[in-house]
Amino acid sequence: MNKRERYLKALKNEEMDAIVWSPNLDYWLHVNRNQGTLPEKYRDLPRNDIIRAIDAYIWCRVSGYKTIIDKSVKETDFEKDGETIKIFETPIGSIRQVHTKTESEHSSRICREHFVKDIETLNILKYVVEATHYEADYEPVNTALAEVGDDGIVLHQVLCIPFIQFSKRDVGYLNAFYMWMDYREEVDSYLNVVFKNFLQAFGILAHGPADVVSTGDDMDGAMISPDIFKEYAIPFYQEVKKVMSARGKIFEGHWCGRTQNLLHMVPESGLDIVEAIVTKPMADIELGKALDLLKGQVVLKGGIPAVLVCDEGGTREDFEKYIRDVILPLKGRKGFILGMGDNIPPNADFRRIEDVAGLIK
């Protein structure tokens, strides 16, 4: 059995005789490659070959569609004073979003100004969503599948549940909760438009050649309460699941926040996998307990809290002890794939990542 076959078996929640180890190193690679701080032996290697070099399973993210916006909307993107600015101009008004730098030029940016400031701008964004549709673009997926070969899988990690799109990305959590409470009817109308729009995109991905289709939720139970999850997340997941099941696709959720108060609802949600699950010491739940809450019905991918691969989280000896005490007892357990919770940080001691394959054999 090759790595691809073994990985797909684990994703489908089948019995395993080994631990599948599939780290997310994209952010680590992006920052260090652009800053010229990659370890020398990796500087000329493509991403997938770095994963092969550490004897892990490839987990390759790629897009499978194009976003098409009606000509009645003018979209403008530009850089100014180190900030990235996007503007939508529509017949009913204009909106803009601004992202600014964080730690460095190549680190993730933070949204300083969201598209939505009030009900008027929410209605403008609603117009933009209604003017947006998606078309298939499977060429990048086929290319990725060929590059990955028998060493792993290819997935889409794209749109999030509509409430997270609204609260985190469109408005910002604080203002979004006030708007949701004060203008519930208008917000729900917007969420319904986003729901239908995103469902169209997931339909395109379901017909594509990738192995897994994942939401990009960044789910965090500190911001999405159990009640909100029941009302807005579960219905969306269940509708997407219908689309995925019809095409035999594996349906995953990107859950990289503190989700201990939500995990008990996952078995009924429609998700096949929760990925990037964060556990102690970064969230208030042990890995074994998180697996128990999924009842063997949903696959958990995670297990290594990101802080543990950094000097701030302990020594290399501490890391090796964690692998021995927490991860190795899970060998052969159904419904577990070893990954990061969430990314390998740019300042990671990468020797710890290199050691994992040997430690789990």
In this prediction, residue 207 has a pLDDT band, given cuts at 50, 70 and 90, of: very high
Instruction: Please give the distance of CA 209 from its chain centroid, rounded to a whole number.
Output: 19
Q: Do 228 and 303 fall into the same domain? A: yes
Could you tell me which residue, 102 or 276, shows the higher pLDDT?
276
Q: Report which of 142, 155, 149, 156 is spatially closest to residue 49, judged by C-alpha positions.
A: 149
Classify residue 79 by its DSSP letter.
Answer: E
In this prediction, residue 102 has a pLDDT band, given cuts at 50, 70 and 90, of: confident
Question: Whole-number mean pLDDT of the chain?
Answer: 96
**pLDDT score for 339:** 97
Q: Do 274 and 151 fall into the same domain? A: yes
Q: Do 175 and 213 fall into the same domain? A: yes
Range of the domain at 86: 71-115
**pLDDT score for 156:** 95
- Express each pLDDT in 248-261 by its tens digit: 999 999 999 999 99
Question: Is 121 part of a structural domain of the chain?
Answer: no
Q: Do 90 and 205 fall into the same domain? A: no
**Based on the structure, what is the number of domains in the chain?**
2
Q: Do 100 and 239 fall into the same domain? A: no
Question: Is 123 part of a structural domain of the chain?
Answer: no
**pLDDT score for 342:** 85
Question: Is 170 part of a structural domain of the chain?
Answer: yes
- Which of 115, 144, 179 is at the close of a domain? 115
Q: Is 75 helix (H, G, I), strand (E, B) or coil?
A: strand
Q: Do 94 and 60 fall into the same domain? A: no
- Express each pLDDT in 22-81 by its tens digit: 999 999 999 999 999 999 999 999 999 999 999 999 999 999 999 999 999 999 999 998
Question: Is 120 part of a structural domain of the chain?
Answer: no
How would you list the strands of the sheet with 110-113, edge to edge?
Answer: 74-80, 83-90, 93-100, 110-113
Q: Do 60 and 108 fall into the same domain? A: no
CA angle 55–56–62, rounded 5-degree value: 135
pTM, two decimals, is: 0.95
E strand or H helix at 98, and its extent? strand 93-100
Hey, what amino acid is at 107? S
Taking 90 as the threshold, does the pLDDT of residue 192 lie above it? yes
- Express each pLDDT in 148-168 by its tens digit: 999 999 999 999 999 999 999
d(CA 73, CA 224): 31
Q: Do 52 and 182 fall into the same domain? A: yes
Taking 90 as the threshold, does the pLDDT of residue 329 lie above it? yes
Taking 90 as the threshold, does the pLDDT of residue 106 lie above it? no
**pLDDT score for 104:** 80
HEC string of the chain equals CCHHHHHHHHHCCCCCCCCCECCCCHHHHHHHHHHCCCCHHHCCCCHHHHHHHCCCCEEEECCCEEEEECCCCEEEEEEECCEEEEEEEECCEEEEEEEECCCCCCCCCEEEECCCCCHHHHHHHHHHHHCEEEEECCHHHHHHHHHHHHHEEEEEECCCCHHHHHHHHHHCHHHHHHHHHHCHHHHHHHHHHHHHHHHHHHHHHHCCCCCEEEECCCCCCCCCCHHHHHHHHHHHHHHHHHHHHHCCCEEEEECCCCCCCCHHHHHHCCCCEEEEECCCCCCCCCHHHHHHHCCCCCEEEEEEEHHHHCHHHCCHHHHHHHHHHHHHHHCCCCCEEEEEECCCCCCCCHHHHHHHHHHHC
Tokens read off for 161? 């549940």
Distant-in-sequence, close-in-space partners of 149: CB < 8 Å, separation ≥ 6? 4
Q: Do 76 and 179 fall into the same domain? A: no
**pLDDT score for 278:** 95
| Percent of the chain topping pLDDT 70 | 100
The CATH number of the domain where 169 resides is what?
3.20.20.210
**pLDDT score for 107:** 82
In this prediction, residue 284 has a pLDDT band, given cuts at 50, 70 and 90, of: very high
d(CA 186, CA 183): 6
Q: Do 355 and 208 fall into the same domain? A: yes
In this prediction, residue 184 has a pLDDT band, given cuts at 50, 70 and 90, of: very high
Question: Is 125 part of a structural domain of the chain?
Answer: no
Q: Report which of 74, 86, 170, 71 is spatially closest to residue 122, judged by C-alpha positions.
A: 170
Taking 90 as the threshold, does the pLDDT of residue 82 lie above it? no
Q: Do 174 and 323 fall into the same domain? A: yes
Q: Do 82 and 176 fall into the same domain? A: no
Question: Is 150 part of a structural domain of the chain?
Answer: yes
Q: Is 188 helix (H, G, I), strand (E, B) or coil?
A: helix
What mean pLDDT do residues 305-320 have? Answer: 97
**pLDDT score for 254:** 97
Distant-in-sequence, close-in-space partners of 263: CB < 8 Å, separation ≥ 6? 274, 277, 285, 290, 293, 294
- Express each pLDDT in 218-240 by its tens digit: 999 999 999 999 999 999 999 99
Question: Is 101 part of a structural domain of the chain?
Answer: yes
Looking only at the bridges linking them, the beta strands covering 110-113 and 65-69 are unpaired
What mean pLDDT do residues 270-298 have? Answer: 97
Taking 90 as the threshold, does the pLDDT of residue 212 lie above it? yes
In this prediction, residue 17 has a pLDDT band, given cuts at 50, 70 and 90, of: confident
**pLDDT score for 332:** 85
**pLDDT score for 105:** 80
Question: Is 126 part of a structural domain of the chain?
Answer: no
**Is the CB of residue 116 less than 8 Å from the CB of residue 95?**
yes
Q: Is 254 helix (H, G, I), strand (E, B) or coil?
A: strand
**Is the CB of residue 61 less than 8 Å from the CB of residue 157?**
yes
